[in-house]
Structure 1
Amino acid sequence: MTFYAFLIALPMHFAAWLHPMHVSVTEIEMDEKEKRLEIMMRVFIDDLETTMRQSFRQPELDVLEPKGQSLDELMQTYLKTRFSVSLDGKTQVIKYLGHERDHEAFIFYVEVDKVKKWKAIQVQNSIITEAYDDQSNLVHVTRGETVRSLRLTRSKPSDIINFESE
C-alpha cells in the first residue's frame, strides 16, 4: 500500500518542482554620451500573453499574431500604467522603441531622452503582476561602472536606488 501512495504522490511532487517561475528582467543603463537611459525588458511570451488577455479582456489574443493592433501598440498601452521611471523625484517620459523575439521571450526596448545629472532613480515595474502573484520583476540599473539591482513584486511594485556616493 505504501508503494502505491508513493506512486500517487510522485507526480504531484514533480509538478510542484516543475512549476514555472514568473520573472522578467529589466536592464536600465545610463548612456552618459547620449544623455539618455536605455532600457531593455525581457518578458516570457506565455506570461505576457496570459496577462494581456486579462488586461485587454481579449481571451483569444495571440501576441505572436495579434489582430487589430500590433504587439508594439498593445505594449505601449500596457506599459503606460505598468512601468515608469523617476529621476530625483521627477517622472520621466518613456519612449517606446520596439521589440524583438528571443526564443521564448520578447525583449522590449524603451528609453528616456534628455536625462540630466541625477542621484536617485525610482522604478515602478508591475508588469505581469496582475496575472501572477508570484511574479518577480528584476531591475538592474547601470550607471558608469556601478550596477545596482531591485526585485519588484505585486506587494512592492516600486523602489528607489540612490547613487549619491558617486
Structure 2
Amino acid sequence: MTALTTIYYTIAQLTALIFFLHPLHVSVTEIEFDEKDKALEIMMRVFIDDLETTLRNSLQDPDLDILEPKNGKTVDQMMQEYLKTRFKISLDNKVQTAKYLGHEREGDAFIFYIEVSNVKKWKTINIHNNIITEVYDDQSNLVHVTVNGKVKSLRLTRNTPADNLTFSN
C-alpha cells in the first residue's frame, strides 16, 4: 500500500466510524387512501429512543420510561396528546380530523395507527409532520401517500414541516 492509499483508507474508516456513531433520526409515515371505506389509513413508524427523549422533554419528565410509563399515562394517551399539534392533514385546504387508534411495538420502533374517516373526493393533500424536530434538528419525517396504487413521497424537516402532494382523479 502506498502512503496515499493508506491515507484514503484511514479517512474512509474514520468517515464510516463517524457515520456509525451518529444516529439516524427518521420517522416513516404511510398514508393510504381507501376509496371503498372513504378513509385515510395511516401508519407512523418512530424509533422508540428518539420518541422517549422527545416525550421526556415535552412532558418535563426526565425519568420517563416509555416502555413502562409510571406517570399514570399510557403510551397511547401520551401519543394522542403529542400528535394533536405535531401531525395534521388537510385535503383541498380543509383540515381533517385524525383519530388516533393505537400502537404496537416492532423491534426498536413503535408503529402508531391513525385514521381520517369520511373522506370525500380530493386532489391535494397537505401533511404537517414535525414530530421529534423540537429535539433533533436533523430529524427527517418521510411520508408516503398512496392513492389508487400510485405512491408519492415527501421529506419533512424542522425547516419544512409541511408540504403538499397533488393527485389527479
Normalising by structure 1, report the TM-score. Answer: 0.91
Q: Which contiguous aligned blocks of 4+ residues in structure 1 show a shift greater than 4 angstroms?
A: 9-15
1:14-163 to structure 2, matched below 5 A, reads 15-18=17-20, 19-67=22-70, 68-163=72-167
For residues 17 and 145 of structure 1, what CA distance do their matches in structure 2 show?
35
Query: Deviation string for 1:102-160 (max 9, x for gaps)?
Result: 00000000000100000000000000100100000000000002100000000000000
Deviation at 1:41, TM superposition (A): 0.2
Deviation at 1:15, TM superposition (A): 4.6
For residues 53 and 110 of structure 2, what CA distance do their matches in structure 1 show?
14
Query: Deviation string for 1:45-73 (max 9, x for gaps)?
Result: 00000000001111101110112100000
> What letter matches 1:32 in structure 2?
E
What runs of 5+ residues in structure 2 fail to find an aligned partner? Answer: 1-6
The percentage of aligned residue pairs carrying the same residue is 63
RMSD: 1.9
For residues 10 and 103 of structure 1, what CA distance do their matches in structure 2 show?
30
For residues 37 and 14 of structure 1, what CA distance do their matches in structure 2 show?
40
> What letter matches 1:55 in structure 2?
S
The alignment partner of 1:38 has SS state of: strand
> What letter matches 2:163 in structure 1?
D
Deviation at 1:37, TM superposition (A): 0.3
> What letter matches 1:150 in structure 2?
L
For residues 47 and 133 of structure 2, what CA distance do their matches in structure 1 show?
13
Normalising by structure 2, report the TM-score. Answer: 0.89
Q: Across the two proteins, how many residue pairs are aligned to each other?
A: 160
For residues 55 and 30 of structure 1, what CA distance do their matches in structure 2 show?
31
The alignment partner of 2:54 has SS state of: helix
